[in-house]
Homo-oligomer: A and B are copies of this chain.
């Protein structure tokens, strides 16, 4: 059973229609964010604003094949329930998806999410 859900950083309608990644927000340097854009993007930044969550996210993102079992990424110095709690927060923010296969739950970072986050922080090209 898949727990995959719509990622809040993307615009689901446009993504579904075209299959392309449509980030929620322009680059931070392009124009002041609207209140709605700021709500969406701040949720993602807040989820990464904890050292343990950031280590877990990095462990999943850098794992072979772009996905990791809880058993692969629990080496961050906190208890298993705390790991599960933080993974849930990352899922709730739309940064990870998960899927149960047999005994284990596997976590995956959507490449489209990384692309959307990277776009937020893109700087304007020289001369623009």
Secondary structure type dominating chain A contacts: helix
Give Cα A114 to B33, complex, Å. Answer: 16
The interface on chain A, measured as residues whose beta carbon lies within 8 A of the other chain's beta carbons, has a size of 41
**A118 engages B115 (CB within 8 Å):** no
Contact B28 A61 (CB under 8 A): yes
Cβ contacts under 8 Å, A105 to chain B: none
Structural contact, B51 and A38, CB atoms closer than 8 A: yes
Interface-side segment among A11-19, A39-47, A96-104: A39-47
Given contacts A121-B117, A123-B115, contact A57 B35 (CB under 8 A): no
Complex partner residue of A58 from B38, B50, B55, B114, CB under 8 angstroms: B38
Contact A114:B45 (CB < 8 A) given known A55-B35, A55-B38, A121-B121: no
**In the complex the two chains form, is A31's CB within 8 Å of B62's CB?**
yes
Measured CA separation A114–B125 after assembly (Å): 13
Cα distance A13–B77 when bound, in Å? 30
Nearest CB on B from A79, distance (A): 16
